[in-house]
Amino acid sequence: MANIVDLLDVVNARVSIFWRMRLLSVIMVAPVIIACFFLFTTHKTVVDYTTREISGSNDIRALWPAVLSGAAGTPLSAASSQDLNAQATAKTSVLDKTEVPGLADAQPSQRVTRAKAMLDSVTDHSGLILDPDLDSFYLMSATVVQLPATITAAHDLSAKSGLVADDAQLILSRTTFSNRLEAVKNDYLKAGQFSAAKALPADLEAALASYLAAGETFAASPNPAAYSAFLDTADALFHPGNANLQSLLHARIRLHWTETAAELGVCFAILAVALGLTYLIGHGLSRRLTVLTDIMQKLVKGEEVGNLPYGKDRNETGVIVATLAAFKANLHQAEEMRLLQHKLEEESVISRHQILLCLADEFERSIMGIVDSVGQSAQSLGQSAQDLTVDASSTSERSQLVAHSMETTSVNIQSVAGATEEMAASSHAIADQAELAVVAADNAAAQANETTQVVQDMNAAAERIGSAIQMISQITSQTNLLALNATIEAARAGEAGRGFSIVASEVKALAQQTAKATEEISLQVKGVQLATAHAAQSITSIAAAVWALRDISTAISESVAQQTAAVGEISRSTAEVATSTSEISDSVMEVNKTANLTGTRAKTALEEARSLAAQSIGLKETALSFLSGIRSA
């Protein structure tokens, strides 16, 4: 079943409706032809059976003279014998060809017996007693069965006619004859009753009346004259009866052939009408579907379609047309929606472009100001770092001079300590040296103050650098936020914002690099701040020491007059001065180291400031390229 369904699906998928209707027509022809075949076969069977009955009737007609001559005790005539032999050789005859040649030479009593046996055989083989129509059935029974049986019974009664009247055999033979006679009468009457005319033909009815009268006469007085008269009436009844039987059989054959022709004609007419209707319906349906298919193809291709036909059909075609009308309306609406969407997309693109231009202008105003501020801050940071480097170099040089002076002072003090005895004589020289020490101390103090101021300036510059770095960090964060917004807008723009997205990604990456560099600079600046703070503390200590040295030198100058009397005190003071001088020398060396470190870090800050300036320039160029890409999008 599934295979049949699959086959039907294949046929429906690959064969057009017109050809499917033709295939249906061919399929319709098959059962009609089969029905016609069975109708023809049915009628042919009846015709063949009737033809066989006619042949049997002819065989009986040929045997009848042998029965009648045997019953009469006369020889079979040459004409009857020739006719019997000719019938036996007929193609349709069922006579036993071996019995026919000796039948003419047989004794009359044997001839009647053998002829009666051959009659019974023909009746059985020809189906004469199985006729389907009642009129022919009873006529056949009377003519073929009962009438020959009556002849045999009459022959038997005639043979016993010499017996006494009350003889049992005579009575039995008479009774048998009378029963046969009555059977012939009943069959003929029933044949007339069931015939189309409801009566026997006139000649057959007259012959039957003569036959019955002669039979009754012979039954009452079975003498040779009555017997001969009875045989004559039987022969007179047989021939019209047999002729009437064959007429009925031939009429039946003609009727069946007529019915066959009529039925086949009706079948073929119905088939022709069905095929014609199938063709017309298939052609009309195919034509409608072809037109609708062309319309559907035009609708699919977007071609213009006029008024849709077949809209008034009250069947599936009308439904298809209504569906096509709705589809056409939907296509028209879809086309209008497409045009409207295209217009909206163009307006959206123009609006988006204007928004991007506004964003680009705003971005340019904000980012360029920030970039310029970063560049200026980087330049200021570079200048401050350069000044710090110069100041650190100057501080180093001055600290070296102070160290050298302190070494000289230490040598002098040691000389004073070693020559205390000579101090009295050399008081003027000591006074001069003391004045020089005071001057050197003043210079050292002034230089210490200047160094302190420089370090404070360095600390202030470092704080400004930190502020600039914070500003750069804010700028970097804002740049990163703008790059993120630009990436979002580029994603919304789709394919048109692909270049915009790439530029935004580069700006974001540059902002991240700037943030990283700013963090490193911030760490360096914090180191500079710590170093400058430490240097400030050291320079403050040096300044205090220098001021102490100045006070000592002043005290030395004031106490020159007392040197002679206070040599011991001078020795102690000299020792203290030597110790202080050593400490001052160490402090000056520390200042020198701090100044060198400050110079190194100032150079690093200068390099970072220059790198920041270069990055700000690169950021500006990238921003300009980014803005150019937005404006050209």
Reference 108, options 70, 75, 78, 77; nearest CA is: 70
Residue 296 is assigned to a structural domain of this protein = no
Q: Do the Cβ atoms of 596 and 397 come closer than 8 Å?
A: no
Measured between alpha carbons, how far is 623 from 364 in angstroms, rounded to an integer?
A: 8
Q: Which of 273, 303, 328 is the last residue of a domain?
A: 273
Residue with tokens 């071609």: 303
497 and 384, same domain (yes or no): yes
CA–CA dist 267, 615 (Å, integer):
104
297 inside domain:
no
Domain span at residue 237 reads: 14-273
SS3 content of the chain, % helix, strand, coil (to 5): 90, 0, 10
Inform me whether the pLDDT recorded for 232 exceeds 90. Answer: yes
What tokens does 59 get? 């065989």
Q: Do 418 and 543 lie in a common domain?
A: yes
**Within a domain: residue 329?**
no
Residue 444 included in any domain: yes
Instruction: Return d(Cα 250, Cα 69) in angstroms, integer.
Output: 29
My answer on whether 238 and 363 are in the same domain is no
| Percentage of the residues of the chain whose pLDDT score is greater than 90 | 9
Residues 412 and 265 reside in one and the same domain:
no
Give the C-alpha separation, 613 to 376, whole Å: 8
Same domain, 267 and 349: no
Domain count, the chain: 2
- Last residue of a domain, which of 273, 307, 331? 273
Cα first-last separation, the chain: 66
In a domain, 218, yes or no: yes
Q: Which of 250, 273, 296 is the last residue of a domain?
A: 273
What pLDDT score does 438 carry? 64
Q: Which is more confident, 248 or 515? A: 248
Task: Inform me whether the pLDDT recorded for 570 exceeds 90.
Answer: no
Domain membership flag for residue 428: yes
- 565 domain residue, yes or no: yes
Question: In this structure, are 198 and 347 located in the same domain?
Answer: no
User: Is the same domain home to 593 and 463?
Assistant: yes
Q: What is the pLDDT of residues 527-555, one digit of tens each?
A: 767 866 776 686 577 567 657 767 856 77
Query: How far, in Å, CA of 313 to CA of 325, rounded?
Result: 14
pLDDT score of 367 more than 70:
no
Residues 360 and 249 reside in one and the same domain: no
pLDDT digits (tens, 9 = 90+) for 326-338: 877 787 787 788 8
The model's pLDDT over 55-86, given as tens digits with 9 standing for 90+, comes to 888 888 888 988 888 888 888 888 888 888 88
Cβ–Cβ under 8 Å, residues 216 and 181:
yes
**Which pTM does this prediction carry?**
0.45
Higher-pLDDT residue of 42, 361: 42
Q: In the prediction, which pLDDT does 8 show?
A: 66
Residue 241 has pLDDT above 70, yes or no: yes
**What backbone phi and psi angles, to 5 degrees, belong to 16?**
-70, 165
**pLDDT at residue 546, as a whole number:** 54
Q: What is the average per-residue pLDDT within 304-314?
A: 78
Burial class (CB in 10 A: 0-12, 13-18, 19+), 301: exposed
- Candidates 77, 72, 46, 45; CA nearest to 62 is 77
Contact 475, 370 (CB under 8 A): yes
> What is the Cα–Cα distance from 77 to 562, expressed in whole angstroms?
218
The mean per-residue pLDDT over the stretch 353-382 comes to: 72
Higher pLDDT, 398 or 117: 117
Same domain? For 264 and 350 the reply is no
Assess whether 151 and 22 both reside in one domain.
Answer: yes
My answer on whether 257 and 375 are in the same domain is no
pLDDT higher than threshold 80 for residue 269:
yes
List the alpha helices (DSSP H) in 221-315.
Answer: 224-301
Torsion of CA 275, 281, 287, 291, to 10 degrees: -160
CATH number for the domain that contains residue 578: 1.10.287.950
Q: Give Dmax over CA atoms of the chain in angstroms.
A: 233
**Within a domain: residue 154?**
yes
Spatial neighbors of 622 by CB under 8 A, at least 6 apart, are: 503, 506, 507, 510
Q: Among 451, 468, 308, which Cα is nearest to 381's?
A: 468
Look at residue 423 and tell me whether its pLDDT is greater than 60.
no
Give the pLDDT mean for 5-20: 70
